[in-house]
Amino acid sequence: MRIIVGLGNPGDRHRDSRHNLGFRCVDLMSRRWEIPFSERRAKANLAIGRRSGRDVVLVKPRTFMNNSGEGVSYLIDRFGVRPSDILIIYDDLELALGRIRLRTQGTGGTHNGMRSIISVLQTQEIPRLRVGIGHPPLGQDTVPYVLGRFSEDESESVSRSVGLAADAVECILEENIDAAMNRFNSVQTEC
């Protein structure tokens, strides 16, 4: 079983924010793979199905970003999986807009959602897919930037990077994360 968690903040207010790029990625997978979000639990919205011969659970935690560890811990308990069976997808301002990066482990960097997950699970060995949003413009604080929406000029690049992220997850399911890292970590969409 593979559990794919897109990080974001719940609620209409945050729907199209940069910080909800993880939600946007799993929403695309749900549509592409025809696995609808049909289970709404206290800690997460779930889409459960099969893809590439494997059981797959797409997840949008209902906890706010800074408490993402609670939602992921719930998944481990509910499905009896290890942290290595989970793939976390999240926005990353350290990556340029249009870039994605897969890793099998590492720190949470500056991302509070990933730091929460690492803290609650007490391991850094959690596969993750970072989707670049770029740095805020000079003089703009980080919080308003990540909670803000993409500009019209950025929207095409964002759509391509979300599609690329879904392609990378498909590669993980069909092959493995090493093959996906080799294939997708060097790819950059045009900005």
Tokens coding 77: 């308990």
Tokens coding 85: 């069976």
Q: Which H or E element spans position 151?
A: none
Establish whether 14 is a catalytic residue: no
Give the angle subtended at the CA of 25 by the CAs of 53 and 162, to the nearest 5°: 110
Separation between Cα atoms, residue 132 and residue 18, nearest integer Å: 9
Q: What is the DSSP letter of 71?
A: H
Tokens coding 144: 């308003």
**Catalytic position from the list 14, 19, 111, 135:** 19
- Report, as residue numbers or ranges, the catalytic residues: 19
